[in-house]
Chains A and B, each alone.
Chain A
Amino acid sequence: MNGAAQTTALASPLGPARRAVRDPLVAGLVGLCLAAAVALLVAPPAPYLINAIGQLAAFAILAVSLDLVWGYLGILSLGHGLFFAIGGYVCAMHLLAHGAAVTGALPDFVQFMGWKSLPAYWVGLDHAPYAFVLALALAGLVAFVFGLASFRSRVNGVYFSIISQALVYVAMLLMYRNDTGLGGNNGRTGFPLLFGWPMGSPGVVTGLAVAALLALTAVLAGARVLVGSAIGRRMLACRDDETRLRTLGYSTTRLKLGIWCLSAMIAALAGILYVPQVGIINPRVLAPDLSIEIAVWVAIGGLGRLGGAVIGAILVNGLKFWLSAAMPEAWPFILSGLVLLVVLGLPNGLLDLVGLRLRPTWLRAAR
C-alpha cells in the first residue's frame, strides 16, 4: 500500500516521528529555496525575474498556511485573503510611516483626508519590528475571534467555508470605503523607502526576494516539523474523525483554534513579504475569488502535502504571470479547466502526475 512510508517507519522504533522529517519533497524544496536565495545573491538575473521569484515565494507561504488548516485539519478557509491583506495593509502603513519619519514629508493622502498628521493608531508603525509583530498579532486576533465563534459552536465543513468567504467579502466592502484612511478603492501605494533604502533599487529587490525565499524555507520546514509531531497526528485524527478525538479526551476546539491562528499569522507573514515587492495594496486582495484561488493552488499542487502546496502556488502563479499577459482572455478558461481536471481526475493534485504518490489511496476520500 504505502511501501516507502512503511520501510522508513520500520527502520526505527519511533518510525512515524522520524518519517515526518524525512519528506523528500519538502527537503528538496527547502534545498531549492536556499539554492535560489544563494543564486540571487551571487548571480542576480534580470530584476523583473528576481521580483517574480520573490512574489512566488510569498504566494507559496500563503499556500502552505492554507494547506496546514485544509490539508491537515480539514478546515477549508475561503477567507485566507483576509489575513494576507492584514499583513499587507499593516506593512504598507509601516512603509508609509517609515518614509515619512525618514524624509520628514507626510504622504499625500494625509492632506487628502484633511488630516494634520498621521492618525494616532499609526504611532510607532515606522518601527519595523513593532509593525510586523502588530500585523501578525492582528491577524492572529481576528482569526482567534472568528475561529472561537465558529469552532466553539461546531461550525465546520462547507458551513465554515462559506462563512469565512462572507468574512473576507465583508472586509473587502469595508476596505473599499474611503473613510477608513487606508485608501479605499485605490489602496495604498507610493512607498518611498524600505529600511532606509530607496524602494525599487536593485539591492532592495534582491533583498526582498531573498527574504521571501528564506521565510518560505523556514515556514515550510517549521510546518513539516509541526505536522510530523504529536500535534500533527492529532490534526490528522481531528480531520478524519473529530467526534472520536473528542471522546478520547482531546479538546479539538483548542487544537483547531491554535492551528487556525498559526495559519492566519503565516498568511499575514506572506502579506508582509508581498506588499513591498509589488509596491501596492488595495481591496482587490480581499476579493472572494482570490481567497478561493489560494485553495486552488493547494488543490492543484496536492492537498495535505506541504510540498504540494508550494508547487501548486508556484505553478499556478507562474502560469498566471505568463498567460494573463500573453492571452488574458484565455486565462480564466485555462484556470477553470485546470481546477476541474485536478478535482475530478487527480485527487492528490499534480503530484499524481509526477508519480510522487506517497499518499495512500485510502486517503483520497479525505476531503
Chain B
Amino acid sequence: MVDPIRRALLALWYLALLAIPASAAPLDRTMFAGSLCKDGAAQVGAAEGLVRAGGDLPADDLAFAGGLLGALAERRLTCPPDGALLLESPNAAGGQDAVTGAPRPSAEARAPVLGLRQRAAVETARGVVALLTEETPAARSAGLAVLERRIATVPAAVLDRARNAETDAALKGTIAGLAQGAALSSPDPTRRRAAIAAVAASPSGAAAARLAALKGDPAYGSDPAFRAALDAGLAKVGRAVTIGDGLAILYNGLSFASILFMAAAGLAIIFGLMGVINLAQGEFIMLGAYATYGVQEVLRRFAPALLDFYLVAAIPVAFLAVALVGIVVEALILRHLYRRPLMSLLATWAVSLFLVNLVRVTVGTQNLQFAMPAYVSGGVPLYADFVVTWNRLFAIGFAAATLVLTLLILRRTPLGLDIRAVTQNRDMAACLGLPTRRVDRLAFGLGSGLAGLAGVALCPIYSVNPGMGSGFIVDSFMVVVLGGVGSLAGTLVAALGVGGANVLIEPISGAVAAKVIVLIGIILFLQRRPEGLFAVRRRR
C-alpha cells in the first residue's frame, strides 16, 4: 500500500542525491538529522544516501550518522520541530541536540517510528558505519555480516575502503570475497571480467558456485568476451577445487588412518607376542576417551584455568589407566588362555561386553561433551576448500608421536628387547631366563595403553559413548591382518592403506561399498601373502 505522493517524494529525494557528486565531502549533518525526523521515505533516502557516500565520508561524519541511525533504531531519537534530539534512553526527559551536542529538554518532541520497510535500509547504513568505524574486528565483522545480506546495494567504494583499512587478516579476506561478489554483478563488463578473474584466482567450492551462477546471466549468451572469461574462470576453479577436495580426502584418510594405527598398533604387538586378538580393544579405546573426559571434569572443577590443557593432561592418565585395566585383564583371564587362542577371543569378547555395560550403567549412554580448546578447533584454509583442521592434525601428530615412542620403546628399552625376543622365539627366550610371563603382562599393558591413547586422540573428532568401540574394531582387525604379525611398519602401512582406501572409495561408492571393497581387497591380498605385508618368511 504505497502512497503515491510518498513514492513521488522518494523519487525526488533520489534525484537530489544523485545530483550530488559522489566525492562530495562532509555530510550535511543538519539535513541528515532532519531527514531522519521526516517520514519513512526520507529516512530510507538518508540511509541509502549514507551507504552510497560511505566510501568517501570522513570518519567523524560516519560516526555521527551511525550514532543517529542507532538512536533511531533504538527509539532514542526525538524530533522537536526545529531539529533532532539524542536521548540517553527511550522516553528520557532530556538529551543532546543531535547536531550541536547542546543539552535540551525533550518535551513536545515526537519520536519517529522506524517501519519494517525502513529498518532494512537503516540496518545496512549502520552496517556500513560499523564496518568502517568500529574499533574491534568483532564489531566490524558484525557490521559486515549485516551488509552481506544486501551486498548488491553496497557500493564498491565502501568495500574497497574497508578492505584497505582492515587490519584483521581473516576479516580482510571476507571483505575481499564480498567485494568480488558485488563486482561480479557490476554493470561494467570490464569490471565484471576482472572480478571473474579475481574470483578464479582464489578458488573454492563457493567461488565455483558463484561463477556457475553467472552462466545464467544474459551476458553469457550475448557477450563473447564475458563468456570466454567465465569459461576460463570456471575451468580454473573447477581444477583447483578438485585438487583441494583430493587433498581434503587424503587429509581425512590420514587422520582416520592415524586413529586406526593407534587402535591397531596395540593389537598387533599383543597378537605378535601372544597370538591373542583382543576383542575388547575397541572398549579399551572407549575407556581412554572416558578417562579423558574424567580429566576434563576434574580440571573443570579444581583448576578451571588449566581446562584448555585437558587433552594434554589426559595423555598419561588415559595411557596408565587403560594399561592398568589391560594388565588386570591379562593377569586374571588371558594368562590362562595362551594355549587356547580361540577361547581367548571369547574371553576378551566377554570383557568387552562387561565394559560396555559397566559404562552404560555407571555413566549413561549419552554422548559425552568435550570442551574444544583453541588447538583443536578451527583450522587453516590451505588450498581451495581444503582446510587443515586442528582436531585432525592433533590426531595425526598424536599418532606420529605414538609411533615414534612405540618404536623407541621396542628398539631402545630392555622391555622392548624382551618383547621382540619373546615374539620371535618364546621357547628360546624362556630358556635364556627371560621372564616371559612378565613380558607378556607388560606388553599387554603397553598394547592396552596404546588403545587408551587412541581414545584421547579421537575425543575431538568422534562422538564418545559406551558403544563407540565397535565402530573401530573391525577396521583395526583388518589392519592387523593386513599388516602381519610383529611388525610396526606393517601396521603403519596397513593402517594407511585401510584408512586411505575407506576414505578414497567412500565419496565414489558410499561408506558400505568402501568397507566391502576393503574386505575383498584384504582377502585377495592374503591369497598372495598369507603372512601379511611385512611378516618375514619363517621356517615352519
The residues of A with any CB-CB pair to B shorter than 8 Å are: 70, 74, 76, 78, 146, 149-150, 152-155, 157-159, 161-163, 165-167, 169-170, 173-174, 176-177, 243, 288-289, 292, 295-296, 299, 329, 332-333, 335-337, 339-340, 343-344, 347, 365, 367
User: Do B474 and A165 touch across chains, with their CB atoms under 8 A apart?
Assistant: yes
Provide the bound-state CA to CA distance between A289 and B341, in Å. 18
Render B507-524 as a binary contact track against A, CB cut-off 8 A, 1 for contact: 000011001100100111
Provide the bound-state CA to CA distance between A153 and B356, in Å. 35
The residues of B with any CB-CB pair to A shorter than 8 Å are: 271, 275-277, 279, 333, 336-337, 339-343, 345-347, 349-351, 353-354, 356-358, 361, 470, 474, 477-478, 480-481, 511-512, 515-516, 519, 522-524, 526-528, 530, 540
Provide the bound-state CA to CA distance between A152 and B340, in Å. 24
Chain B residue with the shortest CB-CB distance to A367? B342
Provide the bound-state CA to CA distance between A181 and B239, in Å. 38
User: Do A158 and B342 touch across chains, with their CB atoms under 8 A apart?
Assistant: yes
Please name the 8 residue pairs, one residue from A and one from B, whose CB atoms are nearest each other, closest first: A339-B350, A336-B350, A332-B357, A336-B354, A162-B477, A336-B353, A76-B342, A173-B512
Chain B residue with the shortest CB-CB distance to A365? B339
Provide the bound-state CA to CA distance between A148 and B49, in Å. 81
Residues on the A chain within 8 Å of B477, using CB: 162, 165-166
User: Do A167 and B337 touch across chains, with their CB atoms under 8 A apart?
Assistant: no
Task: Indicate which residue in B340, B347, B478 contacts A365 across the interface (CB closer than 8 Å).
Answer: B340
Residues on the B chain within 8 Å of A149, using CB: 523-524, 526-527
Task: Indicate which residue in B341, B357, B530 contacts A155 across the interface (CB closer than 8 Å).
Answer: B530
Give, as a whole number of angstroms, the nearest-CB distance from B313 to chain A. 32
User: Do B345 and A335 touch across chains, with their CB atoms under 8 A apart?
Assistant: no
Provide the bound-state CA to CA distance between A262 and B357, in Å. 36
Residues on the B chain within 8 Å of A74, using CB: 342
Task: Indicate which residue in A78, A165, A289, A299 contacts B343 across the interface (CB closer than 8 Å).
Answer: A299
Task: Indicate which residue in A158, A243, A343 contacts B271 across the interface (CB closer than 8 Å).
Answer: A158
Report if A329-B333 is in contact (Cβ < 8 Å); known contacts: A158-B275, A243-B540. no
Residues on the B chain within 8 Å of A288, using CB: 470, 474
Task: Indicate which residue in A161, A166, A243, A329 contacts B345 across the interface (CB closer than 8 Å).
Answer: A161
Chain A residue with the shortest CB-CB distance to B512? A173
Residues on the B chain within 8 Å of A169, using CB: 474, 515
Provide the bound-state CA to CA distance between A100 and B342, in Å. 46
Provide the bound-state CA to CA distance between A292 and B277, in Å. 14
Give, as a whole number of angstroms, the nearest-CB distance from B282 to chain A. 11
Residues on the A chain within 8 Å of B530, using CB: 153-155
Provide the bound-state CA to CA distance between A199 and B232, in Å. 67
Report if A340-B333 is in contact (Cβ < 8 Å); known contacts: A155-B526, A335-B350. yes
Give, as a whole number of angstroms, the nearest-CB distance from A75 to chain B. 9
Chain A residue with the shortest CB-CB distance to B480? A162
User: Do B357 and A333 touch across chains, with their CB atoms under 8 A apart?
Assistant: yes
User: Do B346 and A343 touch across chains, with their CB atoms under 8 A apart?
Assistant: yes
Give, as a whole number of angstroms, the nearest-CB distance from A284 to chain B. 13
User: Do B343 and A367 touch across chains, with their CB atoms under 8 A apart?
Assistant: yes
Residues on the A chain within 8 Å of B349, using CB: 289, 292, 296, 339
Give, as a whole number of angstroms, the nearest-CB distance from B268 to chain A. 12
Provide the bound-state CA to CA distance between A149 and B528, in Å. 10
Give, as a whole number of angstroms, the nearest-CB distance from A264 to chain B. 16
Provide the bound-state CA to CA distance between A328 and B33, in Å. 74
Residues on the A chain within 8 Å of B271, using CB: 158
Provide the bound-state CA to CA distance between A2 and B339, in Å. 23
Chain B residue with the shortest CB-CB distance to A145? B523
Give, as a whole number of angstroms, the nearest-CB distance from A303 to chain B. 8
Give, as a whole number of angstroms, the nearest-CB distance from B365 to chain A. 12
Residues on the B chain within 8 Å of A167, using CB: 519
Residues on the A chain within 8 Å of B470, using CB: 288
Q: Which of B345, B351, B356, B515 has most A Cβ within 10 Å? A: B345
Residues on the B chain within 8 Å of A162, using CB: 277, 345, 477, 480-481
Residues on the B chain within 8 Å of A292, using CB: 279, 345-346, 349
Provide the bound-state CA to CA distance between A153 and B342, in Å. 20
Residues on the B chain within 8 Å of A158, using CB: 271, 275-277, 341-342, 345
Give, as a whole number of angstroms, the nearest-CB distance from A344 to chain B. 6
Give, as a whole number of angstroms, the nearest-CB distance from A225 to chain B. 26
Give, as a whole number of angstroms, the nearest-CB distance from B464 to chain A. 20
Residues on the B chain within 8 Å of A153, using CB: 526-528, 530
User: Do B277 and A344 touch across chains, with their CB atoms under 8 A apart?
Assistant: no
